[in-house]
Amino acid sequence: MPSVGSRTVTELMARHGHEQVVFVADAPAGLRAVIAVHSTALGPSLGGVRFRRYDRDVDALADALRLSEAMSLKASLAGLHQGGGKAVVQWDDPDRPRPAALLEALGRAVDDLGGRYLAAEDVGATTADMDALARVTPWVTGVDVQAGGSGDPSPVTAFGVVCAMRAAVQELDGEPTLDGRRVHVVGVGHVGAPLVGLLVDAGAVVSVSDVFADRVDAVVARHGVTVHASDRALDVACDVLAPCALGGMLDDATIPRLRCRAVVGAANNQLGSDRAAEQLAARDVLFVPDFVASAGGIINIAEEFVGYDRARALEHAAGIEQTTSRVLRAARDRGVTPQRAAEDLARDRIAQEGAGRRWEPGDPAAWTNGAPLTRLRPTTP
């Protein structure tokens, strides 16, 4: 994944295949943002809007580049006719509601791209934010169900993670059951909380960690799970570790501490370095790439443009189990890490199906999975 360092922006874009990066500033509205379009070879780029405080603008750029590339790989392996994009917005407190003026300015910036980037919900964002953007631009997903959208994609993301876990357990033990398996969920926010419920229902022995005590209290009250201190989350002995907070947690310092057999979670960009995948393999820890395990969210919002149907979204997301098995089998057969195998499979599809293509406004490639778009219009006149 891209590391900014001393490289120029265009050098990084060329090296990692990014098509477009847009820097946005609107002083009266208080908006500072970066929108990155990685690939539109398979269709319009789709990716979340992340509200987060970045110490430096270069950190925001690096996040946008990494996340948009991961979204391309995610969409490709999920079988979608989408590319990868991402918007990151400088915002000091993700829990503080965004002013209407800021969201309107961001909506205009998205609209200027003419559909090359489809916005969605990500860390710090809410369905209300998506609704506000949709009043300015049609190129938004994850809007409220009352407006014809799919709402919060997090529950379907969590469902997909469970499917990926089944495939991982199948690889480890020869049977795809989570009953009796020890699973530690790190981060019980939008995705982690519903994931806990699904795991408990599947018979797993669940424990949790989170830096936010109120989130932990809510999950414990509902499911009665065990709690571990957030600073010791990676030391918990378990079958499956499920990172569901921010990425970059698996690196030189943390991988030696792991006491799990597999890592399968929803957090984006969990590997903190290029060598982390090899380090996990050396410790005999099975790693399911995050862009494979967390594809339920993008599958869910892609359904929105063809007339959203929750049952159909879940049916498609259930295929994550088969996709994960395919990745793990390819890794085993080729003698490479699952990360390498997944990246190669995703890039092969982009190269073969999207060879020489680049989506432009009005292009027929705006059709999602072969069906016409149905909700590309603002939610209010």
Which DSSP string do the residues of 74-119 spell out, in sequence order? HHHHTT-S-EEEEEEEE-S-TTSPPPHHHHHHHHHHHHHTTTSEEE
SS3 361: coil
* CA separation for the pair 321, 163 (Å, rounded): 5
Decide if 295 contacts 160 (C-beta within 8 A): yes
Q: Tell me the one-letter amino acid at 182.
A: R
Decide if 120 contacts 46 (C-beta within 8 A): yes
Decide if 115 contacts 361 (C-beta within 8 A): yes
Could you tell me the CA-to-CA distances from 235 to 195, 228, 231 in Å, in that order? 20, 9, 9
Give per-residue burial for 107-128: e unless 16+ CB within 10 Å, then b.
bbbbbebebbbbbbbbbbbbbe
Question: How many C-beta atoms surround the C-beta of residue 224 within 10 A?
Answer: 9
* CA separation for the pair 381, 365 (Å, rounded): 26
Residue 2: exposed, middle, or buried by beta-carbon count in 10 A (0-12, 13-18, 19+)? Answer: buried
* CA separation for the pair 193, 208 (Å, rounded): 9
Q: Tell me the one-letter amino acid at 172.
A: L
Nearest by Cα to 176 from 283, 320, 296:
320
Helix, strand, coil fractions of the chain, as percent rounded to 5: 45, 20, 40
Q: 166 Cβ partners below 8 Å, 6+ apart?
A: 176, 177, 178, 321
Strands of 45-52's sheet in order across: 20-26, 31-39, 83-90, 45-52, 117-121
Report phi then psi at 107, rounded to 5.
-60, -40
Q: Which residues are catalytic?
A: 86
